[in-house]
Amino acid sequence: MSALFSSYQLGSLHLKNRIAIAPMCQYSALDGKASDWHLMHMGAMTLSGAGLFCIEAAAVLPEGRISPADLGLWSDDTEAALAKVINSVRKYSSMPIAIQLAHAGRKASTHVPWQGGKQCSAAEGGWQTLGPSALAHNPHDLPPVELDHAGMQRICQGFVDAALRAHRIGIDAIEIHAAHGYLLHQFLSPLSNQREDEYGGSLANRMRFPLQIMAALRAALPADKVIGIRVSATDWVDGGWDLEQCLVFAQALHSLNCSFIHVSSGGVSPLQNIPASAGYQVEFANRIRQHTGMPTIAVGLITEPAQAEAIIAEGQADMVALARAILYNPHWPWHAAAELGASVEVAPQYLRSQPLGYTNLLVANTSLPASKV
C-alpha cells in the first residue's frame, strides 16, 4: 500500500492522500478580486487528485500585495469575488481548500514576474512599502517605512478579518505566510529586523509579532479550525534566520495550537546562497517534525512519485507539497498513483481516460453532484 496515497487526518480535515498543492501566486487579480483565470486555475488544481489545495497568497490589506495584480481578501468585494470562484469549484470537486494569508511588507509594490518583478514606482501604480525596519530588500529599492505599534495592530487585525472572511465563504483551512522574505519573515530575521523595541533584537522579541498573529487567529476562529503556517527554515545567509531559531519558533507555535508547519526556506535577502537539489528542504521539515511532533509539509524540488513516496514512508514529513511540478503536469497525482500501484478519486467525467491495462486506477468521486447527472 502506498504511503503517499494513504489518508491523513489534519486536525478536523480528512484528506484522501498526502499530496498538497502549494500556494502559487497567479498575479491575475483586479484590485485584489479573483478573476476568471482563478476559476480556470483552481478548477484544474482541484480536479488533480491531490489531497489538499492551498489558494495563493491573498493579501490581508491592499499595501500587503506583492504586485498590483495580487489576490486579496480585505473587503466585501474581494470576498465576494473569491466566494464566486469557490462556489463554482465546489460543484465539481470535494477537495479540501486552504488559503494562504499574507502581507508582503518591504517586498510589496513590484511588477509581476514576467514584467521583471522590480519595485514599481508611484507612476507605475506602486505604493509606499512597510517593514519592521527602514531597510530595503534590494539596494535599488526605496526603503520601507518602519511600522509603529498602531500599524502593526492594523496588520494583525487585517489577518483576523481576512481569516474570518475565508471561514465565512467556506474555505477549510488557513495558512499564515511567514516565509520567503515577506512581512512576518522580515520580523523573524535579524537581517531585516533591526528594531530596538520589544519586537526586535532577541529571538523572543523577533518572534513576538508573528506569534501574536497566530494567537489572534486562534482566538477569532472556531477551536477546530485548521490554522497552519508557512516558514522559511533558513535565510541561507550567515547571521540570518536559521534552523535552530526556527525550531524555537516552531515550539512556540505548537503551544498556540498551530495545526501544521509548511517548511520552505530563503527569500529575505538577495545574498542568499541556496544549494538547490532534489528535496533540498525536506530535512528541515524532518527536524521540525521530530522536535515538535507537529504535522509538517515538505516542499521544494519534489518532482518524482518515488521521491514523494519515500518522504512519507520514511516519516520525514506528513505531507508533500507540489508547486511548479503540478503546474507543469496538473494530473501529477494520477500518474503517481499509476507508478505506485495506488488509486485516485476523479470526477466521473474523467473515468474513461484510464489507460488500457489499468483497473481501479481512477475511481469515481461519488460525493459530487456531477456524478448524479
Q: Which residues, including other chains, have CB under 8 Å from residue 348's CB and lie 6 or more apart?
A: 364, 365, 366, 368, 370, 371
Let me know if 27 is a catalytic residue.
no
226 strand-pairing partners: 173
Q: Which residues, including other chains, have CB under 8 Å from residue 80's CB and lie 6 or more apart?
A: none
User: What are the two backbone dihedrals, phi and then psi, of residue 243, each rounded to the nearest 5 degrees?
Assistant: -65, -40
Cell of 255: 503551544
Look-up: residue for cell 502581507? 103
Q: Is 174 helix (H, G, I), strand (E, B) or coil?
A: strand
Interior CA angle at 343 toward 342 and 349, to 5°? Answer: 155
Of 60, 70, 71, the C-alpha closest to 117 is 70
CB of 18 closer than 8 Å to CB of 33: no
Measured distance CA(318)–CA(296) in Å, rounded? 5
352 exposure class (CB count in 10 Å sphere: 0-12, 13-18, 19+): exposed
The residue from 8, 182, 199, 328 that is catalytic is 182
328: left (phi over 0), alpha (psi -120 to 50) or beta: alpha
Measured distance CA(337)–CA(361) in Å, rounded? 7
Catalytic positions: 182
